[in-house]
């Protein structure tokens, strides 16, 4: 193992001890250190970082930017120890991020997805797990990764609470469950414990092998279920994905507020906290996801200005 690879592992261990997860950036940084090892390089250079970051040739510019950003912090630390290590400039690659358009699910579509999971997936534990997972995402607006990482002690069905521990940005929060959700999750938990009495993980949602679900597996199964119930991409950037359930929850909540005459601006920080956003401005982005929501917002603005009765 090269000195750079050892230094990269030490750097990641230090950052993670401070609370940073660095899952994908950490893997990328280790890949870059191996890239230097294969090239016989002894120091980080801007040229080598750029050559590695812009692979593969057919990737999106935002991916190149992300790859390079995973190197910069480590390069800065190495430069402080040995000035021969170069730090790639922050503006070396453009940060052109095309955010996917949210696919907004109707209640009927969510029901169809859950029913498809129950009736077409096998074995029974597999079917029950995905039906319960889809339902939880739809009624709480959790990030799919947060639901996958839920342990059993984070789901308090007696208190009707789900605790998201160390979510995005390291924030934790409690989400209240409605009676219907509590009943559905209780039924799933009982079935899970009967079919998988000796799980290999404390995870609330388990695979047929008794292990924690994998994000890539969840995405693959969800796409198959979406195709099965006839859901198709609305554009190249708007496809039915698990994250769309979160967007749908947020939009439905705001639509309900507008229709009820609630002061949305005053309530938006509550929704931002529920969703785990660090800034309510991130929540405002959902306004662009729904023509109905935009229309209601415009109508409210005109009413405030005195143009509508």
For residue 308, is pLDDT > 50? no
Cα separation, 100 vs 288, in Å, equals 12
Q: Which pLDDT band holds residue 67 (cuts at 50, 70, 90)?
A: very high
Distance, in Å, from the CA atom of 107 to the CA atom of 24, rounded to the nearest integer, reads 33
Bond preceding residue 123 cis, omega within 30 of 0: yes
Strand order in the sheet with 161-164: 155-156, 161-164, 173-176
Q: What pLDDT sits at residue 303?
A: 52
Q: What is the mean pLDDT of residues 81-96?
A: 89
pTM: 0.71
Using the predicted structure, report yes or no on whether residue 288 has a pLDDT greater than 90: no
Q: CA-to-CA distance for 221 and 223, rounded, in angstroms? A: 5
Cβ-Cβ contacts under 8 Å for 57 (sequence gap 6 or more): none
How far is 175 from 162, CA to CA, in rounded Å? 5
Decide if pLDDT at 294 tops 80: no
CA distance 57 to 35: 16
Residue ranges of E strands in the chain: 155-156, 161-164, 173-176
Tokens read off for 231: 């859901």
For 46-60, what is each residue's pLDDT tens digit? 999 999 999 988 888
- Residues contacting 141, CB < 8 A, separation 6+: 245, 246, 249, 250, 253, 274, 275
Provide the pLDDT confidence category of residue 154 given band limits of 50, 70 and 90: very high
Task: Give 256's Cβ-side CA count (13 Å radius).
Answer: 9
Which residues contact residue 294 at a Cβ distance below 8 angstroms, ignoring those fewer than 6 apart?
Answer: 287, 288
CA atoms of 146 and 249, how far apart (whole Å): 15
- pLDDT tens for 1-27 read 568 999 999 999 999 888 788 888 999
Mean pLDDT of the 67-81 span: 94
Query: Residue 234: its pLDDT value, please?
Result: 87
**88 touches 103 (CB < 8 A):** no
Share of the chain above pLDDT 70, in %: 87
Q: With a cut of 90, say whether residue 194 has pLDDT above it.
A: yes
Q: Tokens representing 54?
A: 């812009």
> What letters, b where the CB count within 10 A reaches 16 and e where it falls short, cover 274-283?
bbbbeeeeeb
Give the whole-angstrom CA distance, residue 206 versus residue 125.
Answer: 8
User: Which residues share a beta bridge with 173?
Assistant: 164
What confidence score (pLDDT) does residue 139 get? 97
Of 132, 127, 133, 148, nearest to 208 by C-alpha is: 127
Query: What are the pLDDT digits (tens) for 245-287?
Result: 999 998 888 888 888 888 877 888 888 889 888 776 667 666 5
């Amino acid at each position: 193992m090269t000195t750079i690879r050892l230094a990269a592992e030490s750097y990641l261990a230090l950052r993670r001890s401070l609370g940073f997860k660095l899952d994908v950036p950490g893997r990328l940084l280790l890949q870059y250190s191996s890239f230097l090892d294969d090239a016989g390089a002894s120091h980080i250079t801007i040229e080598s970082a750029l050559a590695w970051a812009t692979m593969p040739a057919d990737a999106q510019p935002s991916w190149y930017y992300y790859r390079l950003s995973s190197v910069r912090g480590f390069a800065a630390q190495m430069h402080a120890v040995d000035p021969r290590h170069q730090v790639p400039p922050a503006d070396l690659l453009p940060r052109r991020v095309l955010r996917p358009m949210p696919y907004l699910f109707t209640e009927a579509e969510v029901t169809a997805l859950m029913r498809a999971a129950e009736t077409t997936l096998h074995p029974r534990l597999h079917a029950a797990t995905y039906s319960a997972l889809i339902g939880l995402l739809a009624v709480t607006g959790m990030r799919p990764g947060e639901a996958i990482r839920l342990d059993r002690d984070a789901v308090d069905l007696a208190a009707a609470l789900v605790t998201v521990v160390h979510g995005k940005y390291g924030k934790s929060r409690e989400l209240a469950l409605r009676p219907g959700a509590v009943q559905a999750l209780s039924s799933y938990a009982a079935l899970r414990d009967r079919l998988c009495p000796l799980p290999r993980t404390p995870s609330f949602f388990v695979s047929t092998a008794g292990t924690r679900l994998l994000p890539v597996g969840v995405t693959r199964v969800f796409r198959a279920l979406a195709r099965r119930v006839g859901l198709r991409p609305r554009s190249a950037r708007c496809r039915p994905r698990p994250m769309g359930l979160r967007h749908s929850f947020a939009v439905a909540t705001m639509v309900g507020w507008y229709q009820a005459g609630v002061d949305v601006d005053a309530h938006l920080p509550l929704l931002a906290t529920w969703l785990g956003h660090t800034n309510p401005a991130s929540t405002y982005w959902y306004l662009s996801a729904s023509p109905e929501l935009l229309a209601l917002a415009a109508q409210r603005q005109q009413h405030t200005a005195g143009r509508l009765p």
